[in-house]
Amino acid sequence: MTDKAASGLVQGTLDMLILKTLELEPMHGYGIGQRIEQISNGVFQVNPGSLFPAFRRLERAGLMKGEWRDTENNRRAKYYALTAAGRKQLRGEARQWTRQAAAIARILESET
Amino acid sequence: MPFFRNLLDGARAILRKKHVEREMDEELRAYLDDAAREHMRRGMNPEEARRAARMGMGSVESVKESVRAAGWETRLETLWRDLHFGARMLRLNPLFAAAAILSLALGIGANTAIFQLINALRLRRIPVSNPQEIARIAIENRHNASGNFSSRYPDLTYALWEQIRAKQQGFSSVLAWSPSTFNISPGGEVRNVQGLWVSGEFFETLGVQPSLGRLLTPDDDRRGCGASPAVISYSFWRRAFGQSPSVLGQTVTVGRRPFSIVGVAPAGFYGIEVGRDFDIAAPLCSEEMVDGENNQIKNRSGWWLSVLGRLKPGWTVEQATAQLHAISGGAFEAALPPEYNSSTARSFLGFKLKAFPAECGLSDLREGYQAPLWLLLALAGIVLLISAANLANLLLARATTRQKEMGVRMAVGAGRGRLIRQLLAESLLLALIGAGLGGLLAQGLSSALVASLTTTDNPLFVDLRMDWRVLGFTTALALLTSVLFGLAPAFRATNVTPGVALRESNRGSTGGRSRFALRRILVVTQIALSLTLLVGALLFARSLNNLARLDAWFRQDGILIADIDFTPLHLAAENRRAFSTELLKRVREIPGIDAAAAAAVVPLSGDSIGHDILPDTGDGGDSAPTVVFNIVSPGYFDTLQTPLLAGRDFNDRDTPGSPNVAIVNRSFAKQFGNGGNMVGKTFRVRVMNKITTYEVIGLVQNTKYIELREDSRPIVYTAKSQHDRPGTDALLLIRSRTNLASLMTAVKEAAGAANPDMDISFSTLRKTIDDGLVGDRLMAALSGFFGCLAVVLAVIGLYGVISYTGAQRRNEIAIRMAMGAGRGNILRLVLQEAAVLLAAGLVIGTGLALAGGNAAAAMLFGLKPWDIWTFLMAHSGLGVVAVAASLLPAIRASLLDPMTALRDE
């Protein structure tokens, strides 16, 4: 259990990761959390206490919208999908993030 | 877009709260199900899987709470919940809530009422279009101007108005106006309404639209106009005509001349004079006809007009002033009154016109009542402070008892900030309810204030509508007081360690000395402030008493004033003296009348006549002293019972043919006769460019002339029988012990017997004098009210603190008693505590009162703001009440049964 990684997640970063997860297809709450965990190989464990407030925040900001749908096992769940604004926001943030990460990596390398 | 979406979603969350909450529940349940299914897939049994999923999520409530916190609506909801909770707490303590709300309502109400007056008189603009463009045109530093000054704003003469209208360039249009009283009675007893003489440009320049018919135009105002059209005010239309549209074309008489009503001014338009309303506005040109031979239009030295203008676009007041300066020379030259002597002419030709900003209109009330109103606002503010201190004290006492409750709530996870916010919401609620009630109270209070300043001859009208300034003032006051009295107790109540608070009993180490210091400081402050107010109240009361008991050296009670206007008889000048003598003779014959006399000026009415006294040779230059005159009939001094100290009264042998005679008072003799008996001496008087020599035939006691406050000024009395320009009215002073109503009827009959076609109005000398003291009476009454309120509040505070001490020191007292202390010792112990607080408060209060006294100095009469007797009275009064208030809790403490008290512990 690497809880410190999850708690170390900056708020803005979590928002970006959620948006990224939704890039391919709409997903429901548990699925989003699972996906982030899987793709990060368990580095990021997202607990519901930060996930759901982030949903409310992103929904309010108009970056994604929620919709009640039936799941594959015939239950109702709230699926979130990216809006056009969300897609644009994601592109911008991803670009900025990559640039920053590369810069930080260079700095760290030069120190060794 | 996102902003509106956010707003919309937030609103939805509030309005469809149940729905949104249900959705959230469902979403979280789905999450848990998914998580449990995942755990089962990894091999847990269903029971274990559900538990693991729950543990992974943590507290469902806290997840929901943080989701809710992501929206703005939550903060609103929290505030609402806090207010709701506060309301419940207040309902649980109805007595506390009622006392708090009542004292806040009184404090805030008094402040708002006085602020409303200040706002209406001082801050609000006049009800015309673009008031910021309006400027007043008057003479810069006018001094040594002479002539006849009438109306409340005697800025200019008619000749000067004509010059300004023709020559000014800075204004797109200019107007002249003059307030006056119009007698609208067709005959008999006078019925006065508030009138305005207005130039034709008046309404046009102000940009005012009629609510019915039309307003006056320049065509209505042509020199020599006879019976003219008139415009009435909206309030007069409602009062006198029941808002009937058929008022147009009806006739109203002004000074027995018919005026036809052509229009009604808009509602809320009271003119440009703040503090007064008008009933009828008539063209300036009609003044010549209505006022007959006393008209001011033809009087070159008649100062009676006020002139205003609307600045041209792009012109400033300074530029307009520069242009007015440029035309001043020519204008004053052309308007020079021919009757001026060389000295007055010199000053007149040196005058310069100037433009003054006038967006807030004109107001003599503003000048007169500004200082008293600010002072009253300060006094009311202190009362509010004292009541806030009382509330803080009550809340502090409650804070101690609520520490246990706070401890419990903190133990279950409430943050301190959250609890403070909740406690503040409680005070805010109190303050808001108090402000609401106070605002209502203020409406009644401010109109009552205006009503108490209004007299029959001087009706005031103050537009007291609520506006954003008043609303803002009251709200700010409520917020400020709620923080003032709520913050410290809230911090105090939440300053607990949950464990300690829960363990400890109600009484014990929690109520330490330092904890208690704040309450003692509050009580000392209250006593100090209430002493200040009490001193103020006593100063004003004693000042009013000094004025009322002042020996003005004339009789003030039982004097009827009858003003009989015989203008309608159109008597030739040479017949008037005989007619008015005849009137006086008939009045004197009425049974029950002790004495009667005629005079030109009723003392203390505010009217005056002034002339220059010249040295025995030469013309006195510009420095000839001006003294006041009265023109009286024989018997004047006897009627008013003013002692004749030497010489004789006027008599029937003083005629136009005999040498001019005068009676002077002691001040005159002192200034112009070196204090000696002036009887038999002569002095010279200059009236305009005519010099007359008078022989002194009598010396009388000094009397007050214009107002009670003045020092005894030199007065000259001349004989009415020698007056060279007898007027067309007789002002009679009648002393009688019969009742007023029957006396008035008798005087009316006596005058009617001489000629029925005259206008009569009545008043009494007592009323005239009282009307001059309305301001002083108001100050005394209001400061007295504030002072009493302050003392009551402070004493309640002291009582509370002393009772609390008694309860707190129960153990100590019980032990002392067990050790052998007598009841007397205990009584002394508790009273000592009260005495220390009282003494500290009195010392600080004395300092405050001395410092604040200067603000009141100018309004006091016959005593200084540091008057020792006033201070002694205030100290002993407050001291006695305070000791009495602490006696009760002290006695209660001394009656303690030591055994019971110690067993309780």
A61 and B2 in contact by Cβ < 8 A? yes
Q: Which residues of chain B are within 8 Å of residue A76 when distances are taken between CB atoms?
A: 26, 30
Question: Chain B 624-653, CB below 8 Å of chain A: which residues?
Answer: none
Report residue B510's pLDDT band, with 50, 70 and 90 as the boundaries: very low
Which chain B residue has the Cα nearest residue A78? B27
Say whether B273 sits in a helix, a strand or coil: strand
What's the 3-state SS for B657-713? CCCCEEEEEHHHHHHHCCCCCCCCCEEEEEECCEEEEEEEEEEECCCCCCCCCCCCC
The alpha-carbon gap from A48 to the nearest alpha carbon of chain B, in Å, equals 6
B1 shares contact with chain A (CB less than 8 Å): yes
A48 and B56 in contact by Cβ < 8 A? yes
Length of chain A equals 112
Per the model's pLDDT, the better-predicted residue between B404 and B339 turns out to be: B339
As to burial, measured by CB atoms within 10 angstroms (0-12 exposed, 13-18 middle, 19+ buried), residue A95 is: exposed
Beta partners for residue B179, in sequence order: B196
User: How far is residue B853's CA from residue B870's CA, in Å, rounded to a whole number?
Assistant: 12
B70 and A31 in contact by Cβ < 8 A? no
Cβ contact B212:B263 at 8 Å: yes
Q: Concatenated DSSP letters for B307-369?
A: EEEEEPTT--HHHHHHHHHHHHHHHHHHT--TT--HHHHHHHHH--EEEEE-TT-B-HHHHHH
A34 and B5 in contact by Cβ < 8 A? no
Nearest to A62 among B5, B38, B58 (CB): B5
A29 and B1 in contact by Cβ < 8 A? no
Find how far residue B323's CA is from the centre of its chain. Answer: 38
Q: Which of A59-73, B259-273, B700-714, B784-798 has the lowest mean pLDDT?
A: A59-73
pLDDT for residue B507 is more than 50: no
B30 and A28 in contact by Cβ < 8 A? yes
Cβ contact B354:B309 at 8 Å: no
B2 shares contact with chain A (CB less than 8 Å): yes
pLDDT of residue B504: 55
Tokens of B248: 């147009």
Using alpha carbons, select from B717, B761, B720 the residue that is nearest to residue B578: B720
Q: Which residues contact B578 (CB under 8 A, 6 or more apart)?
A: none
Cβ contact B783:B379 at 8 Å: yes
Average pLDDT over residues B834-861: 90
Q: Which residues of chain A are within 8 Å of residue B69 when distances are taken between CB atoms?
A: 53
Which chain A residue has the Cα nearest residue B34? A30
Tens-digit pLDDT profile for residues B352-394: 999 999 998 888 888 888 888 888 999 999 999 998 888 888 8
Using alpha carbons, select from B739, B706, B732, B730 the residue that is nearest to residue B558: B739
Using alpha carbons, select from B244, B322, B230 the residue that is nearest to residue B281: B230
Average pLDDT over residues B410-428: 82
Tens-digit pLDDT profile for residues B565-606: 888 888 888 888 889 999 999 999 999 899 999 999 999 888
B25 shares contact with chain A (CB less than 8 Å): no
A77 and B71 in contact by Cβ < 8 A? no
DSSP code of B461?
A: B
Cβ contact B406:B501 at 8 Å: yes
User: How far is residue B222's CA from residue B230's CA, in Å, rounded to a whole number?
Assistant: 14
pLDDT of residue A10: 61
B56 and A77 in contact by Cβ < 8 A? no
Q: Which residues of chain B are within 8 Å of residue A62 when distances are taken between CB atoms?
A: 1-2, 5-6
The alpha-carbon gap from B81 to the nearest alpha carbon of chain A, in Å, equals 22
Tens-digit pLDDT profile for residues B390-408: 888 888 877 777 777 888 8
Tokens of B15: 């309005």
User: How far is residue A98's CA from residue B471's CA, in Å, rounded to a whole number?
Assistant: 55
Tokens of B626: 């001006």
Cβ contact B833:B802 at 8 Å: yes
Q: In degrees rounded to 5, what are phi and psi of residue B663?
A: -115, 135
ipTM score:
0.83
Dihedral sign from CA coordinates of B157, B162, B166, B172 = positive
Nearest to B57 among A48, A55, A75 (CB): A48
Which chain B residue has the Cα nearest residue A34? B35
Please, what is the average pLDDT of chain B? 87
Q: Which residues contact B110 (CB under 8 A, 6 or more apart)?
A: B380, B383, B384, B438, B442, B445, B786
pLDDT for residue B511 is more than 50: no
**CB-defined contacts A:B, below 8 A:** 72
pLDDT for residue B775 is more than 60: yes
Nearest to B63 among A28, A48, A57 (CB): A48
B210 shares contact with chain A (CB less than 8 Å): no
B30 and A47 in contact by Cβ < 8 A? no
Tens-digit pLDDT profile for residues B637-671: 999 999 999 999 999 899 888 999 999 999 999 99
B28 and A52 in contact by Cβ < 8 A? yes
Q: Which residues of chain A are within 8 Å of residue B34 when distances are taken between CB atoms?
A: 28-31, 77
Average pLDDT over residues B617-644: 87
Using alpha carbons, select from B414, B407, B412 the residue that is nearest to residue B498: B407
The alpha-carbon gap from A37 to the nearest alpha carbon of chain B, in Å, equals 13
User: How far is residue A110's CA from residue B807's CA, in Å, rounded to a whole number?
Assistant: 74
Q: Which residues of chain A are within 8 Å of residue B58 when distances are taken between CB atoms?
A: 47-49
Cβ contact B631:B607 at 8 Å: no
pLDDT of residue A4: 38
Tens-digit pLDDT profile for residues B199-219: 999 999 999 999 999 999 999
Q: State the pTM of this model.
A: 0.78
Please, what is the average pLDDT of chain A? 81
Triad B883, B888, B889: Cα angle to 5°:
100
Q: In degrees rounded to 5, what are phi and psi of residue B179?
A: -75, 145
The alpha-carbon gap from A28 to the nearest alpha carbon of chain B, in Å, equals 8
What's the 3-state SS for B38-53? HHHHCCCCHHHHHHHH
